[in-house]
Amino acid sequence: MSTNPVDIPTDDIELEEWLESIESVLRTEGPDRAKVIFRGVRDYLARSNIVAEDATLNTPYRNTIPLSEQPPYPGDIEIEERLENIIRWNAMAMVLRGYDSGTGVGGHIGTYASAATMQEVGFNHVFRKRSERYGGDLVNVQAHAATGIYARAFLEGRVTRKQLDNYRRELQPGGGLSSYPHPRNMPDFWQMPCASMGLSTPSAIYQARFVKYLENRGLKPRNGGKVWVFIGDGEADEPEVLGTINIAAREQLDNLILVANCNLQRLDGPVRGNGKIIQELERNFRGAGWNVIKVIWSGEWDPLFAQDRDGVLQERMEQAVDGDYQMYSVSSGKEVREHWVGTNRRLAEIMQPLSDEKIRCIRRGGHDQHKIYAAFERAVQTRGQPTAILIKTIKGYGMQGYEGSNAVHQKKSLSIEERVETGRRLGIPLSDEELAKAEFYLPPENSEETLYLRTHRRALGGWLPDRKVVCPTLPSPDLALFREQLNGSGKRAISTTMAFVRMLTKLMQHDELGRYIVPIVPDEARTFGMEALFRRAGIYSSEGQKYKPVDSSTLMPYREAKDGQILQEGICEVGAMASFMAAGTAYAVHGIPTIPFYVFYSIFGFQRVGDMIWACGDMLSRGFLLGGTAGRTTLNGEGLQHEDGHSQVVANTIPNMRSYDPAFAYELAVIITDGIKRMYYQQEEIFYYLTLYNENYPMPAIPNGAEDGIIRGLYRFQKSNSKPKKGRKAHLLGSGAIMTQVLDARELLENLGVSADVWSATSYNELAREALSVARANRLRKTGEPTTSYLENVLKDESGVFIAASDFMKALPLSIAKWVPGHYAVLGTDGFGLSESRPDLRDHFEVSAEHIAYTAMAALADERLVSAKELSKAGSQLSIDPGKLNPAIEGPAQIKTGAHPD
Ligand SMILES: Cc1ncc(C[n+]2csc(CCOP(=O)(O)OP(=O)(O)O)c2C)c(N)n1
Ligand SMILES: [Mg+2]
């Protein structure tokens, strides 16, 4: 709110009096008092049910921080501009040289050109590195502006000329720089991945939230640190961006600053040609409870504002749409003036002191260090709210002839003349020939620019981005911790989900590991029987619990607490995944080895937030993802959008994910113990996906020596006690809850005169990966004996037919087919799920005990060990319908509704 006197252009005497009195309050008592009075009037009217429908969350289309409140700039702009120009040049040269090399590796120039100044202000004055005394800033830039970060790191001496030259050529000797921020490929540099647009916002929000969680739980000192996330204005259209901002305000994340680079363009064209993206984002963020700071105009506009007593300039600014502003960035000064001023004589007068050339060059706020710094500084000081800074820029700023053009995003090369011209304009002291070849320019060590850059980073604690893992290792848990699961449940029928919850409880009570366990659930804790943890561990709430829960007198009340350990994320899988990412990367970001266990409805994992899981792989997240209510036929009744028969197949697409589909409680115990050891003791860069089921059955005790097989993916669970007659031998592979069917099938087969062994296949994915690796090594080896895979070894002495049954798609067991030493048939749950009872679902999908037994008989018949007649008899005995529909491609008869009986 301005305190400048305003000429009130009205002939409404009564309104004029009101405005004059508020004007006098503003002048004499200041804006805070004026706000109180304004709210008082508004509330008074509201009491009489009078609400101004057109009240808006928008402020005028100008800078939030007026000149009068702008802090002095803490740096030397002249040197900073020289530095920025060198960085701009080198960033562009990386892409141009890539283009010249003919490798077609691509790259972008326009995004960084628009973001350079805001990034440089941050690096020179604001972004602080983690130290003993300071929690550290996590800085996440726009992926397409990564070139600018590399170009700066080159000046800092952190990356070599050769690495710069190998931008987007990571396989080159000595390594090249990754296209975008990928911690996986540059693990001592990048902190967070962001190349999939939209995901960096929830990632940053939940990183900031997790910092508060760590502080409230006493795992981290309250020593500050900000999460900065830079996004594009086009990117803000991704639903994950605006869809997750509410939580940031609710949690009062004043350690979070989101900067939207509003260059008004995305890849193809304008973001909101017919509107104003900055105003739209302001409404959204302000409505969600954020502090919003707009940086729209540079200082060159300030004298014009001072002339704008009657508000005509402001009015014109409101009126022009982004399509106009984009057009101005490609037009001559004369054209801009004509379009801007139109027939408005007062506006013409205000603009009159500026020559056409000045009008052409007048900058937007995003290219003015003073305005950017003012916004950054205010954001850093803000308490109790997250801040969104909306900065207006020009896409391709400084790329003459291409600035603001719709094609600028894809511009990857410049002509020789354009290169020389650009280099000269940026003041790069290279020869024309060198500029034409887009040579990099490195100022001397003792140059003013280099010294300036170093001094400023030193004052802010050191280089950023920077990822250094300094984290204590955790002890490897003793398997005996899970004695209960190893001993089995006797006759008591329990599910793997129940077993897991017992194990989680044990882990949370563990002396050394307990405090680091982070249970995460979307709104599903009761589905998984985890509600007992509410009382014991508490649900994390930054506000504690201000109400008495309705169930306070029960044994399992809904207990929220400031130091609660459970993250109950509401119905927001993307947020829960972002929490998993934050907890799974705290070892690198904060040096705190938290172990997330994120339990979710398995179908709402990979298929709902698969990209987020992929990003966790990029960010080297650790921890356990647990797909509960798994299995297309085990989760009955729920129908096709709930019944998951494919997440294990998708899990295999994440290269560093170890995925298991355990059948028994002791398998879970072995896998989780091994997982904690690998991730938190041996520091392996892996994470886990385990499927859990809700079917109850007695859990057996661990067979002797099964551990290794459980981890590798296959072991013999039960050997037949009958000798095979005439080679009638079957090996039944089962996993997850379908193991119950496999065990029943074994009995059916024994009754049919077939000797059957049961194998537990805890992970087809692990088996196939290892077998493929061994096959590859054998292929590439020139001499020497070939080695064999675990799978080949474990099955090498077996003969007979092999039948695998899974509650997942056939592709999963099929992945090991090549190495199974005999007839191999697979049964799985291809096709859409449907609402039915568990036995009917298993019959429909052909994974019931009967279908398994029949498939073994059919395989033996193929091998001529069972006659056609005997097979047909077995089919009748097992009630197999040969005319049954194919569940992989057909559903049940569709119901016709609404038809009249007549
Ligand atoms: C999920 C996703 N969709 C599409 C893309 C491809 N893409 C990369 S940059 C870009 C345009 C970005 O526009 P904006 O966010 O406005 O950033 P600017 O480059 O204008 O700063 C698109 C569509 C992507 N990287 N991720
Ligand atoms: Mg944009």
Closest CA to 9 of 306, 305, 307, 309: 309
C-alpha distance from residue 637 to each of 632, 633, 643, 835, 837 (Å)? 10, 9, 9, 4, 6
Q: Which residues contact 91 (CB under 8 A, 6 or more apart)?
A: 109, 112, 116, 147, 148, 150, 151
**CB of 179 closer than 6 A to ligand 1?**
no
**CB of 195 closer than 6 A to ligand 1?**
yes
Three-state DSSP class for residue 698: strand
**Choice from 237, 240, 266 to test ligand 1 binding pocket (greatest atom count within 8 A of CB):** 266
Angle between helices 849-862 and 739-751 (to 10 degrees): 50
The DSSP code sequence of 149-217 is HHHHHHHTTSS-HHHHHTTT-TTSTT----SS--TTTSTTT------STTSHHHHHHHHHHHHHHHHHT
Nearest CA to ligand 1 atom 7: 267
d(CA 732, CA 720): 11
Q: Which ligand is nearest to the CA of 141?
A: 1
**CB of 261 closer than 6 A to ligand 1?**
yes
**CB of 395 closer than 6 A to ligand 1?**
yes
How far, in Å, from the CA of 249 to the mean position of ligand 1?
26
How far, in Å, from the CA of 702 to the mean position of ligand 1?
51
Nearest CA to ligand 1 atom 6: 197
DSSP collapsed to 3 states, 204-215: HHHHHHHHHHHH
CA-238 nearest atom, ligand 1? 1
**CB of 409 closer than 6 A to ligand 1?**
yes
**CB of 266 closer than 6 A to ligand 1?**
yes
d(CA 180, CA 196): 10
Q: Which residues contact 138 (CB under 8 A, 6 or more apart)?
A: 191, 192, 204, 207, 225, 226, 227, 228, 589
- Split at pLDDT 50, 70, 90, the class of 678 is very high
pLDDT of residue 52 exceeding 90: no
d(CA 576, CA 771): 34
CA-198 nearest atom, ligand 1? 1
Average pLDDT for 561-587? 97
Other Cβ atoms within 10 Å of 423 Cβ, number: 25
Strand intervals (E) in 322-402: 387-392
d(CA 388, CA 771): 50
CA-108 nearest atom, ligand 1? 19
Give the model confidence (pLDDT) of 806-855 as tens digits.
Answer: 999 999 999 999 999 999 999 999 999 999 999 999 999 999 999 999 99
- Predicted confidence at residue 43, as pLDDT, reads 85
pLDDT of residue 788 exceeding 60: yes
- Predicted confidence at residue 4, as pLDDT, reads 41
The answer to whether 645 and 691 have CB atoms below 8 angstroms apart is no
Nearest CA to ligand 1 atom 9: 267
Q: Which ligand is nearest to the CA of 110?
A: 1
**CB of 267 closer than 6 A to ligand 1?**
yes
CA-236 nearest atom, ligand 1? 15
Q: Which ligand is nearest to the CA of 615?
A: 1
Give the model confidence (pLDDT) of 55-79 as tens digits.
Answer: 679 999 999 999 999 999 999 999 9
CA-261 nearest atom, ligand 1? 21
Give the model confidence (pLDDT) of 197-218 as tens digits.
Answer: 999 999 999 999 999 999 999 9
Nearest CA to ligand 1 atom 15: 232
Average pLDDT for 88-116? 96
Other Cβ atoms within 10 Å of 564 Cβ, number: 22
Nearest CA to ligand 1 atom 20: 266
pTM summary value: 0.95
How far, in Å, from the CA of 103 to the mean position of ligand 1?
23
**CB of 111 closer than 6 A to ligand 1?**
yes
The answer to whether 109 and 84 have CB atoms below 8 angstroms apart is no
User: Exposed, middle or buried by CB within 10 Å (0-12, 13-18, 19+), for 726?
Assistant: exposed
How far, in Å, from the CA of 395 to the mean position of ligand 2?
7
Give the model confidence (pLDDT) of 719-737 as tens digits.
Answer: 998 999 999 999 999 999 9
pLDDT of residue 554 exceeding 70: yes
Give the model confidence (pLDDT) of 163-203 as tens digits.
Answer: 999 999 999 998 899 999 999 999 999 999 999 999 999 99
The answer to whether 663 and 739 have CB atoms below 8 angstroms apart is yes
- Predicted confidence at residue 1, as pLDDT, reads 36
**CB of 235 closer than 6 A to ligand 1?**
yes
**CB of 322 closer than 6 A to ligand 1?**
no
Average pLDDT for 470-488? 96
Give the rounded percent of residues in the chain with a pLDDT score beyond 70. 98
- Split at pLDDT 50, 70, 90, the class of 8 is low
Residues lying with their CB under 5 A of ligand 2, a single-atom ion: 232-234, 263, 265
**Choice from 271, 278, 409, 574 to test ligand 1 binding pocket (greatest atom count within 8 A of CB):** 409
Three-state DSSP class for residue 228: strand
The DSSP code sequence of 618-687 is HTT--SEEEEES-STTTS-SS-TTT--SSHHHHHTTSTTEEEE---SHHHHHHHHHHHHIIIIIS--S-E
Closest CA to 105 of 413, 396, 408, 402: 413
Q: Which ligand is nearest to the CA of 410?
A: 1
**CB of 393 closer than 6 A to ligand 1?**
no
Q: Which ligand is nearest to the CA of 234?
A: 1
How far, in Å, from the CA of 114 to the mean position of ligand 2?
9
